[in-house]
Amino acid sequence: MDHFADRLLAAIRTKGNAVCVGLDPRWNSLPAEIRSRHSGDTLEAAAAAYDEFCCRIVDRIAPLVPAVKAQCAFFEACGPAGVATLQRVLGRARERGLLTILDGKRNDIASTAVAYAEAAFTGFALGNRLHPVWDADAITINPYLGRDAVEPFLVSARKSQRGIFVLVRTSNRGSGLFQNLECKGRPLFLHVAEAVRSWSRENLGQSGFGDVGAVVGATHPAELALVRDALPEAILLIPGYGAQGGTAADIAPAFRGDGSGALVNSSRAIIFAFEPDDTNWEEQVESATQKTIAELRAATSMSRL
């Protein structure tokens, strides 16, 4: 298996775009046909509906995009059945050749972070073998606890050629409260970016990109450019495109001149690009994916890939 960044870059080149589809299932927005089939009066029924919905989306978009990002919160909200669904959806995405990002924003002190990291990547060592839990290609993590809390994720990722995306500048409106605090002459998020640069440089792939990337919201275009400059070897994972208000022009600075260096996530604008009663919802999801790809190719250097 190759270095995470090389695998991601290869997938982006093969598909001709750097769009990641966010799998954020929400009960009230599901197609009516799925909701009616699963009744929705238990957490298990909701989990089964999410399973069908996400797997059908994965099947539709797998030929089009390089990656999916699954948002843990929506699956965990269905309890154990939701967590089983998350495992199955990640497995379906892998089978269909998609790279998988587990969006859990996990963080904890070292000995506990080991448990999160092994669940994400190498698997839980029991008896004489490793038991895969999420088996994701990458996970999102929160940096507030510092390097020693990030270390277990780096160790597990590097044993298994996976990747990490560290929150640097998040897409929410109020993210500046701490992330933009001026610390020694520059905002906190640039201190985090500097740390990500050094972690990323520890393990570069043949593509020249590291296995540690940064999460930077599409909703902050000026800061996206600052992070791009600060992190030449990091792949930027960009949420906030579409439903959250980030435009294709806002995202242009995230790409390097050769069209590489960014992965743009869109969730609601793709997976809920229909009215609940529409019977052709999968076609609409496919069209929304193609529209997103076209918009980004028109407005960014992604077309040079």
Catalytic positions: 105
Q: Is 107 in the site for a second copy (CB under 8 A)?
A: yes
CA atoms within 13 A on the CB side of 235: 31
Q: Is 115 in the site for a second copy (CB under 8 A)?
A: yes
Q: How far is the CB of 43 from a second copy (least distance, A)?
A: 5
Of the candidates 152, 72, 139, 60, the one whose C-alpha atom is nearest the C-alpha of residue 99 is 139
Q: Is 77 in the site for a second copy (CB under 8 A)?
A: yes
Question: d(Cα 268, Cα 157) in Å, to the nearest integer?
Answer: 29
Question: d(Cα 135, Cα 164) in Å, to the nearest integer?
Answer: 13
Among 32, 181, 294, 298, binds a second copy (CB under 8 A): 181
- x/- mask, a second copy, residues 243-262, rule CB under 8 A, reads -x------------------
Among 17, 100, 122, 179, binds a second copy (CB under 8 A): 179
Question: d(Cα 256, Cα 254) in Å, to the nearest integer?
Answer: 7
Cβ burial of 99 (10 Å; 0-12, 13-18, 19+) is buried
Residue with the two structure tokens 């109020």: 174
Stretch that binds a second copy, among 56-64, 140-148, 248-256, 293-301 (CB under 8 A): 140-148
Stretch that binds a second copy, among 1-9, 164-172, 256-264, 296-304 (CB under 8 A): 164-172
- x/- mask, a second copy, residues 81-100, rule CB under 8 A, reads x-xx--x-------------
Minimum CB distance to a second copy smaller for 27 or for 221 = 27
For the chain, the distance separating the N- and C-terminal CA atoms, rounded to the nearest angstrom, is 23
Q: Is 56 in the site for a second copy (CB under 8 A)?
A: no
User: Dihedral sign, CA of 279, 280, 284, 285?
Assistant: positive
Among 57, 93, 149, 157, binds a second copy (CB under 8 A): 149
Minimum CB distance to a second copy smaller for 74 or for 209 = 74
Q: How far is the CB of 256 from a second copy (least distance, A)?
A: 26
Q: b vs e for 51-89, b when ≥16 Cβ sit within 10 Å of the residue's Cβ?
A: bbbbbbbbebbbebbbbbbbbbebbeebeebbbbbbbeb
Among 126, 222, 257, 277, binds a second copy (CB under 8 A): 126
Q: What's the token pair of residue 102?
A: 């587990």
For the chain, how many residues are written?
Answer: 305
Q: How far is the CB of 24 from a second copy (least distance, A)?
A: 7
Residue 21 near residue 291, CB atoms below 8 Å:
no
Minimum CB distance to a second copy smaller for 175 or for 207 = 175
Q: How far is the CB of 109 from a second copy (least distance, A)?
A: 4
Phi, psi of 262 (to 5 degrees): -140, 155
Residue 238 near residue 266, CB atoms below 8 Å:
no
Residue ranges that bind a second copy, judged by CB under 8 A? 24, 27, 40-43, 45-46, 71, 73-74, 76-81, 83-84, 87, 105-110, 112-113, 115-116, 118-119, 124, 126-127, 129, 131, 133, 142-149, 167, 170-179, 181-184, 188, 191-192, 195, 239, 244
